[in-house]
């Protein structure tokens, strides 16, 4: 029944878009949201399991809103892949980083050459693996950098993950690379430059 209802929702949504006269360019964005709902149901839905009381996740996780805003500037806010990132954010905030990884795995399975999805899969893995850049996280970041070698986003967020793991020295070359790849007239260049300057001051002060 769950799949039947899901199909009916899809038909009803398409009819509503047509009746309301929604512009065609917006259909793909709305369709991406519906597709994400279906992905979530496929990953997490268990219609054959008897009902039972639901317990809240034990440890909600706070996300750095400034970092989320910077992610939007660097990777985009209104594309199909941005919907995956937003859903993964929600899973992380709810204290379920495993579900965030599953969301991003669903994204890269759907779009295997999308560097944005691979980048945030790396971040999701790092969060899931106790804040460490695990082999799975590094593999995701590496794939993102291979797919988009001229984009600053993948090396920048690999640097973020390394900073969050406490490996400040290892983060430095990735942030330097991200800054070098960012054009001078791009709005977020200053945000990268400031972070790199602060990191350099910290590393200099930490030298014996």
35 contacts: CB under 8 Å, gap ≥ 6: 110
Torsion angles phi and psi, residue 17, rounded to 5: -60, -40
Question: What is d(CA 183, CA 171) in angstroms, rounded to the nearest whole number?
Answer: 21
Evaluate if residue 24 carries a pLDDT over 70.
no
What does the radius of gyration of the chain's CA atoms come to, in whole angstroms?
A: 19
Alpha helix segments (H runs only) across 21-134? 24-44, 65-75, 80-93, 97-110, 115-128
CA-nearest of 160, 146, 9, 8 to 74 is 160
Mean pLDDT of the chain: 83
Extract the tokens encoding 110. 């759907």
pTM for the structure as a whole: 0.72
State the maximum Cα–Cα separation within the chain, in Å, rounded to a whole number.
69
Q: Give every CB contact of residue 7 below 8 A, 6+ residues apart in sequence.
A: none
What are the residues whose beta carbons fall under 8 Å from the beta carbon of 77, sequence distance 6 or more?
none
Contacts of 148 (CB under 8 A, 6+ apart): 115, 154
Topology (CATH) of 65-206 = 1.25.40
Burial class of residue 55 in the structure, from the number of CB atoms within 10 Å of its CB (0-12 exposed, 13-18 middle, 19+ buried): exposed
In tens, the pLDDT along 102-161 reads: 999 999 999 999 999 999 999 999 999 999 999 999 999 999 999 999 999 999 999 999
- The predicted structure's pLDDT at residue 57: 47
How wide is the angle at C-alpha 149 spanned by C-alphas 202 and 119, nearest 5°? 70
The pLDDT value recorded for residue 143 is 97
Per-residue pLDDT tens digits for 169-194:
999 999 999 999 999 999 999 999 99
Kindly write down the DSSP assignment for every residue of 136-200, as one continuous string: HHHHHHHHHHHH-TT-SHHHHHHHHHHHHTT-HHHHHHHHHHHHHHS-TT-TTHHHHHHHHHHHH
Domain ranges for the chain: 65-206
């Amino acid at each position: 029944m769950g799949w039947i209802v899901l199909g009916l929702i899809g038909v009803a949504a398409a009819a509503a878009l047509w009746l309301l006269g929604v512009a065609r360019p917006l259909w793909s964005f709305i369709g991406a949201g519906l597709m994400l709902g279906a992905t979530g149901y496929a990953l997490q839905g268990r219609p054959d399991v008897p009902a039972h009381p639901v317990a809240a996740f034990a440890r909600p996780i706070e996300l750095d809103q400034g970092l989320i805003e910077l992610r939007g500037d660097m990777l985009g806010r209104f594309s199909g892949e941005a919907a995956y990132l937003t859903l993964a954010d929600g899973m992380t905030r709810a204290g379920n980083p495993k579900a965030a990884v599953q969301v991003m795995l669903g994204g890269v399975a759907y779009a295997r050459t999308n560097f944005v999805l691979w980048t945030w899969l790396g971040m999701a893995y790092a969060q899931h693996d106790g804040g460490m850049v695990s082999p799975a996280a590094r593999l995701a970041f590496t794939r993102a950098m291979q797919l988009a070698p001229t984009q600053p986003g993948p090396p920048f967020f690999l640097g973020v993950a390394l900073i969050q793991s406490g490996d400040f020295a290892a983060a430095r070359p990735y942030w330097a690379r991200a800054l070098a790849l960012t054009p001078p007239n791009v709005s977020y260049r200053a945000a990268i430059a400031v972070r790199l300057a602060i990191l350099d001051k910290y590393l200099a002060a930490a030298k014996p």
